[in-house]
C-alpha cells in the first residue's frame, strides 16, 4: 500500500466514523474537510489545465517558428513539413483532453448548489484518470516535467477529495 493510498484510506475512515457518530448529518469537521478538499481539488485542476495549455501553446509556437525559418534540411522520407517541432500526436491530444476535463471538473466543483454526488464522483474520477494519463504522456515529452508534476498533483487532489465523499 502506497503512502498516498494509506493517507486517503485513513481520512475516509475517519470521515465515516465521524458521520456514523452523528444523527445522520455530517459533523462540522467532516463538512469543513469536504469543502477544503473540494477547493484543493478545484485549484489543482485549474493549475493542471493551465500548465497543459501552456505546454500545447509552446509546442505550437515552436512549430510556427520552425516553419518561418524554413526547412533546416531535406525532410525525412515520409515526414510532413513542420512535423519535427510538434510533439508526438498522442501526448498533444492527451494534453488537450486534460485541459478540457480539468476545466470541466473545476467548474463542477465550483457550483454551490450541486446535489448529485454520483455525477460529482464520476467527474472527479475521470479527471484523476486523465491527469495521470497526461502525466505519463508528459514524461515522454522533453521539457514537460513541470506539467507532469502538476498533473500528478491534480490526480492526488482528486484522490483526496474522493476520500471525503466516502
- The pLDDT profile of the chain, 166 residues, written as one tens digit per residue, is 444 444 444 555 555 554 444 456 678 888 888 889 999 999 999 999 999 898 888 766 655 555 555 555 445 555 554 444 444 456 788 899 999 999 999 998 888 777 788 989 999 999 999 999 999 999 988 788 999 999 999 999 999 999 988 7
Say if residue 118 is exposed, middle or buried (CB neighbours under 10 Å; 0-12, 13-18, 19+): exposed
Separation CA 116–CA 125 (nearest Å)? 14
For 27, 54, 149, the CA distances from 21, given in Å and listed in that order, are 9, 47, 38
Amino acid at each position: 500500500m502506497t503512502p498516498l493510498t494509506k493517507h486517503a484510506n485513513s481520512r475516509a475512515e475517519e470521515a465515516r466514523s465521524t458521520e456514523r457518530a452523528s444523527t445522520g448529518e455530517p459533523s462540522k469537521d467532516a463538512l469543513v474537510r469536504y469543502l477544503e478538499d473540494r477547493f484543493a481539488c478545484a485549484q489543482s485542476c485549474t493549475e493542471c489545465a493551465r500548465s497543459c495549455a501552456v505546454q500545447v501553446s509552446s509546442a505550437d509556437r515552436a512549430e510556427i517558428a520552425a516553419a518561418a525559418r524554413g526547412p533546416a534540411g531535406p525532410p525525412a522520407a515520409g515526414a510532413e513539413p513542420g512535423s519535427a517541432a510538434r510533439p508526438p500526436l498522442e501526448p498533444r491530444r492527451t494534453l488537450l483532453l486534460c485541459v478540457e476535463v480539468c476545466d470541466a471538473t473545476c467548474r463542477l466543483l465550483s457550483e454551490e448548489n450541486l446535489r448529485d454526488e454520483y455525477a460529482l464522483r464520476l467527474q472527479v474520477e475521470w479527471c484523476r484518470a486523465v491527469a495521470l494519463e497526461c502525466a505519463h504522456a508528459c514524461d515522454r515529452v522533453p521539457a514537460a516535467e513541470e506539467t507532469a508534476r502538476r498533473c500528478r498533483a491534480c490526480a492526488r487532489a482528486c484522490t483526496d477529495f474522493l476520500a471525503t465523499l466516502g
